[in-house]
Amino acid sequence: MRLAGDDRVQDAAGGAQGSGERQRDAGRAQYSRAGRAAHRRPGLDTGRRGIRGGSGDGLGFTGGGHGASVDERAGVTLVSGWSTSGAGAQPAVRVLGPLQLSAADGTAIPIAARKHADLLVILAAERSTRSAGYLCELLWRGAPPDSAQVTLQGYVSRLRRALGPSHGVAIETTAQGYVLRCEAGGTDLDLLDTLARDARGALADGDTRRAVDLLETALGLWRGEALEDVADVAELAPERARLDELRSELTEACAEGMLALGQATRAITVLAPAHGRHPLREGTARLLALALRAAGRAPEALDVLVDLRRGLRDELGLDPDPDTVRVEREIRSSPAPAPDRTGAAKPAAPPGPALGAGPPGRATDAAALERAWRESAGRLAVVTVSGAAGIGKSTLVHHALGRHRGAALLTSGVAGGGTAPFETLGPWLEQAALAGYAPPSAPSVAGVAAMLAAMVRESGHLVAVVEDVQWADRDSLRLLGAALRVLRAHPILLLLTRRPGTLDADRAAALGLLRAVGTHTDLTLQPLTPDAVRALVGARLGAGDRATVEEIVTRSLGNPLLAAQLCDLADAGEPITEDAVAGVVAWKLESVSEPARRLAEALAVIGQRTTAHLAAAVAELDGIDDVDARLTELALAQVVEVDGTELDFAHELLRRAVLDGVGALRRCALHGRVADAVESVSPRALAAIASHRSAAAPGSVSPAAARACERAAADALARGATSEAARLATLGATHADPDDPRLAVALDSLAGQAHTRLGDYETAGACFDRAGRLLAESGDHAGLARLALLAAPSGVGGFFSGYGVVQTGNSDLRGRALAHRLDLEADLVARLQAAEAADRAAQGLAGDLDHLREAQALTETGSAAWAQVRLAEFICRWEPTTVADRAKIADELADLAGADPQARATALHLRRVCALEAGDLRLVRRLSAEFTRVAADGGPDLQAMQLWWQVMLAVLRGDYAESNALMTRHLEGLGAVSLPARRLAEVSMATSQSIELWHRGRLAEFLDQAGQLAGDFDEDFAIVVAMASAEAGQHERAIGLVESVVEQPGRLHGPRVAVRVPLLTEALLAIGRGAPALREEVRALAATLEPATAGWGDALVVQWPGLVCLGPSGLYRGTLRGVLGLPDAHATVVAAGRRARALGAAPYAARAEERLRGWPFVDGSA
């Protein structure tokens, strides 16, 4: 589904807009209302509007709103009192139709004056503070009278009186203007956001039925056109268009879910009105046609598509999107499933078996696979078939496919691999394209999920196979795991085959993620019994010689492939040798000509499978003539299989045996010829060229191999295949000429970037350091500066990258570059200074503001470095008192981001951080919804940040069951994609759990773990050690730790203020309460900290990088001042408690109340 305001395309089972529709829709809007009546199909059931369900920020059953395993519930509900369980309650302010205002008891509150109603609708739509001047411009449609602002004050006053009986809705006056404050669900727009959170959670849990209910609830909120009271206010036209688009998207998502549940008639009732509103919207028309076909109304389905084609041609001069053409072709060619008695098409189930019960000797395994096949009719199921080479894994899988006569997506890992980025995923995309589906132009989680969902929608059941998964590339495994995870409620069967053996850590983690996407069945194939082998041999040789049969039974060791090959030997009168496979291959190659043997060797070097075109090119370079005749010889000898233009070894064991017979020198020569052939036949297959160039010069200097690896690594990095990029760059470094520093620098730079994206900062740092030394030695100061910027922290907020691993930068590299700043361009120096300033600020090191001033002096608005300098300023000034100024910076960063998704995500995250600090929960919900859309296909970094944001909010409101569930889900999903990601996930989980223990008064249980984290991860965990020690009665240790932190050199400022001051305050309070003898020392330390809290009050404390919130800042200022006996301390804590209650931050409200009961120490002394 295409989300509102997003450039991505997600074709959710034919229900979403294809890539060609984006331009069409811009021209269709003007026809939608005019053509509504004319295009409504007669006979369609348009009676029942949905009454339950929905989302306010766009989501589809393709899981396009998700990446790997992340529950993206972006809504924010800190205030208790409304949840999905209370969906029957009406919001106080309703603007999705004519304005309605309701009292707490549900009775209508009349708003007689037009301007009063307009003002309330405008405030509800804006969702954030707006100045009086801006509101006057909108209220008086661009021509406000001189007295407008005075009149506006009167309107606000009268509206406040009108809002009095409503619950939790009020107009507040701030220094910036007016804002409508609402508790959760106070307006129907807010209710959309909350329903989005719950619907997204239902999808993540595979609960399609609940998600549909939520989506219906959301659709039921519309009572007409959104914001129709202010339809003539031009400034609100984008918001009205967004809401109209959102309504269509929710309708399509809801219908997709209904169709997935087999509820075709319900889907029709949802889709028909939407089709009437927008008759030229292809996504809605496609879904309606599919629903009608599923309900047994194929003629009407075709009428919908014929009318759509005619309307597009006559009114817009356009042809239908290829997806629409495909759906029409599908409806014309495939009969609809028989509807059940309610008129709803039954969910498609895999057809029953038609052939035998399984391969010889595999009846039990075939029965287990059959059970999983049937389970997959209801939701995604995964089967892993394990066993030794030749044991019959592929035979079992393909026998099942034959029994069910089902088509499947087929791919396999390739021994050695490295022929292309996402090489394992590639065949699925090619097969989908041949079947008429639109694969994503570049592999992405959302694109692959959408493609698979479309195939499920139209076929009713999808089988996908990955053979030899132990050789599958890690990038494909991670992407497939992420895409399939969000399709857990779909009828999909994923079949994996693998050989036993230990996998490298990254591949094992990625495979674990893939196996966890659905209900998992593990089948380990054992050797065939002697009787089963005898039956197999008997089928091949007939009665035969009994001694020969028993020799084959003994030599085959229960392996059916070896048994079959030995049967071929016996049938040819050859002796049964000790090394069965080698003997079989030797015998087969002896039966063909010498040129055919040489061709077999060349094919073995190419790989398990290739094309006839490439084989012919290699053969020509190797002096082999009449390739067709040679291939025929090899096929007759059962060495290779020929399928059209595709060539495949009969089994990997045969290819390996052929390869083992090739001498080292000839093998190197063949790799070189293969590389030359690939360059001529497929010049864009850079990874294959690089792999063969490298294999042609094993362990030796080869400029050709190094350059090929450089090109291939850069290509892989650009395509997002980070593991492949790291492998190729590292491989190229082994061939680089020591006398060619440029090439060595390029390879190390690529490897550093790839390892950074993978979160392996130690390896990345080593790569960057090597490259930096070479650049410094060559005097390339500009190159050194650019390298330092590549090594600097990046990602969301400037730091969040590498599967959610928070990165610190290579300061030494930046220092070496800045030593030559007089020789560099100003923008380059400004970017280096900005990176150094941000890194120092984040780590609490002195000098950050000096570097920031240097950066600011070298740049100006509009320069290339401006955005990075402003970002550094945001980080350096990250304190509770600067939230208004930082919000302006974040808004500016949003304007500068353009179409860059990383920059957009950074700006959105920083904006929502500021909104949370300011307590503007409605704006937080809105920005989080938008962040979710950006994160949907933004990769693991954005998905991890979104999850930890949700964890923070759950902890803030005291919902520890939710926070622990989210963290566990992350550990099983994104946290499993790499070891660095898992380490960070574990640390983040420990942080959240320590906050929970702190609130429960059990932080002493965390003492040992906090000490370990302080040594291994972040020295500021020493403050948590101090807090836990004080709680455990170890007061001397606690105060010593506090002193060590407070007495660190430099002024306490920037982001470390929000990290250290609140926790130090809590540690001092605990020490003072538990150890009266240490109170003088407590007061002395408190006096050192108190000045840093000047101006703290209502603003919430959100720690860098915006994923931990410690409640109202006034709680800590009031506590410090109370310890010191200063004025207003008690009142400041009272206000902080009130602020926490208003925002639903229950743990901090309770903490404030407890603090006041024993003020400031238990004995009441100060």
Phi-psi region of 44 (alpha: psi -120 to 50; beta: other; left: phi over 0): beta
Please, which residues have CB within 8 angstroms of residue 504's CB and are 6 or more apart in sequence?
Answer: none
* Of 66, 60, 82, nearest in space to 14 by CA: 60
Q: What is the DSSP string of 989-1014?
A: HHHHHHHHHHHTT-GGGGHHHHHHHH
Helix axes 594-606, 612-621, angle to 10 degrees: 120
> Do 61 and 163 lie in a common domain?
yes
Distance between CA atoms of residues 7 and 618, nearest Å: 43
The whole-number pLDDT of residue 1082 equals 96
Number of domains within the chain: 7
In this structure, how many other beta carbons lie within 10 angstroms of the beta carbon of residue 1021?
24
Given a cut of 80, whether residue 831 has pLDDT beyond it is yes
Distances (CA, A) of 812 to 625, 765, 768: 59, 10, 11
Q: What's the pLDDT at 16?
A: 35
Domain with residue 30: its CATH number is 1.25.40.10
In terms of domains, do 327 and 406 share one? no
- Asked if 216 and 279 sit in the same domain, the reply is no
Triad 372, 352, 526: Cα angle to 5°: 45
Specify whether 517 is located in the same domain as 424: yes
The residue segments making up the domain with residue 448 are: 363-526
Mean pLDDT for the stretch of residues 906-919: 93
Question: Are residues 520 and 411 part of one domain?
Answer: yes
% of the chain beyond a pLDDT of 90: 43
Residues 502 and 555 in one domain: no
CA distance 513 to 445: 14
- Between residues 155 and 758, which one has the greater pLDDT? 155
Instruction: In whole angstroms, give the CA distance from residue 376 to residue 728.
Output: 38
Domain assignment of residue 59, yes or no: yes
More confident residue, 1162 or 608: 608
Strands 100-101 and 409-412: unpaired
851 within some domain: no
What pLDDT was estimated at residue 677?
Answer: 95
70 vs 525: which has the higher pLDDT: 525
Q: pLDDT confidence of 1091, banded at 50, 70, 90?
A: very high
Q: How confident is the model over 127-156, as a mean pLDDT?
A: 91
- Is position 918 within any domain? no
In three-state secondary structure terms, 181 is strand
Q: 942 falls in which pLDDT band (50, 70, 90)?
A: confident
DSSP 84: G
First-last CA distance in the chain: 61
Last residue of a domain, one of 667, 702, 736: 667
* Residue 274 and residue 377 share a domain: no
| Top-confidence residue, 11 or 828 | 828
At residue 112 the predicted structure's pLDDT band, cuts being 50, 70 and 90, is confident
Cβ burial 281-300 (10 Å sphere, 16+ → b, else e): bbbbbbbbbbbbbbbbbbeb
How many angstroms separate the CA atoms of 730 and 720, rounded? 17
Does 236 share its domain with 118? yes
| Average confidence score pLDDT of the chain | 82
DSSP for 1094-1152 reads TT-SSSEEEETTTTEEEEETHHHHHHHHHHHT-TTHHHHHHHHHHHHHHHT-HHHHHHH
Domain for residue 256, yes or no?
no
The predicted pLDDT at position 180 comes to: 87
% of the chain with per-residue pLDDT over 70: 84
Task: Inform me whether the pLDDT recorded for 1138 exceeds 60.
Answer: yes
469-473, 675-679, 1076-1080: least confidently modelled range: 469-473
Q: Which residue blocks in 758-825 are alpha helix, DSSP H?
A: 761-778, 781-791, 811-818
Question: Longest C-alpha distance within the chain, in Å?
Answer: 111
Whole-Å CA distances, 850 to 707, 823, 845, 869, 872: 42, 20, 11, 13, 12
Residues 773-792 have a mean pLDDT of 92
pLDDT, position 51 = 24
Average pLDDT over residues 651-663: 86
Note the pLDDT of residue 46: 29
- Give mean pLDDT, residues 594-605: 94
Region 652-678: what's the mean pLDDT?
Answer: 91
Per the model's pLDDT, the better-predicted residue between 579 and 453 turns out to be 453
Do 21 and 81 share a structural domain?
no
The stretches of 102-173 forming alpha helices (DSSP H) are 114-126, 132-139, 148-163
Report the candidate in 279, 243, 99, 93 with the shortest Cα–Cα distance to residue 181.
93
849 domain-assigned: no
Those residues with Cβ within 8 angstroms of residue 734's Cβ, 6 or more apart along the chain or in another chain: 694, 699
ω into residue 1105 within 30 of 0, thus cis?
yes
Residue 938 pLDDT: 67
pLDDT of residue 49: 26
Q: Are residues 720 and 643 in the same domain?
A: no
Q: What is the CATH number of the domain that holds 90?
A: 1.10.10.10
The residues near 796 (Cβ < 8 Å, ≥ 6 apart) are 902, 905, 906, 909, 941, 942, 945, 1105
pLDDT in tens, 979-1032: 666 677 777 788 888 999 999 999 999 999 888 888 777 778 899 999 999 999
pLDDT tens figures, 180-235: 887 766 888 888 877 766 766 665 555 778 888 988 998 889 899 999 999 999 88
Select from 969, 959, 948 the least CA-distant residue to 996. Answer: 959
Give the pLDDT confidence score for residue 194 in this predicted structure.
Answer: 73
Distances (CA, A) of 591 to 445, 636, 651: 49, 10, 18
In a domain, residue 312? The reply is yes
Q: Is residue 313 part of a domain?
A: yes
Higher pLDDT, 500 or 573: 500
Mean pLDDT of 699-715: 96
Which pTM was predicted?
Answer: 0.73
Whether residue 519 sits in one domain with residue 544 = no
Residue ending a domain, among 618, 636, 667, is 667
Instruction: Report the pLDDT value the prediction gives residue 946, as an integer from 0 to 100.
Output: 84
pLDDT score for 35: 33
Query: Do 767 and 696 reside in the same domain of the chain?
Result: yes
- Residue 500, pLDDT > 90, answer no
936 falls in which pLDDT band (50, 70, 90)?
low
d(C-alpha 673, C-alpha 602), whole Å = 9
What is the pairing mode between strands 519-524 and 381-386? parallel
CATH number at residue 660: 1.10.10
What does the pLDDT look like over 868-903, one tens digit per residue? Answer: 999 999 999 999 999 999 999 999 999 998 888 888
Q: Is the pLDDT of residue 245 over 70?
A: yes
Which of 576, 603, 635 is the last residue before a domain boundary?
A: 576
pLDDT for the residue numbered 978: 61
Task: Flag whether pLDDT at 1150 surpasses 50.
Answer: yes
pLDDT at 52 over 60: no
pLDDT at 30: 31
Which pLDDT does position 82 carry in this prediction?
Answer: 36
In a domain, 1038, yes or no: yes
Count of C-beta atoms within a 10 Å radius of residue 1158: 12
Q: Is 878 helix (H, G, I), strand (E, B) or coil?
A: coil
Mean pLDDT of the 770-782 span: 94
Region 414-442: what's the mean pLDDT? 84
Whether the predicted pLDDT of 953 surpasses 50: yes
- Map residue 906 onto helix, strand or coil: helix
Element (H, E) at 463: strand 462-467
Residue 91: per-residue pLDDT:
84
Lowest mean pLDDT, pick from 377-386, 589-598, 780-789, 965-974: 965-974
Q: How confident is the model at residue 89 (pLDDT cuts 50, 70, 90)?
A: low
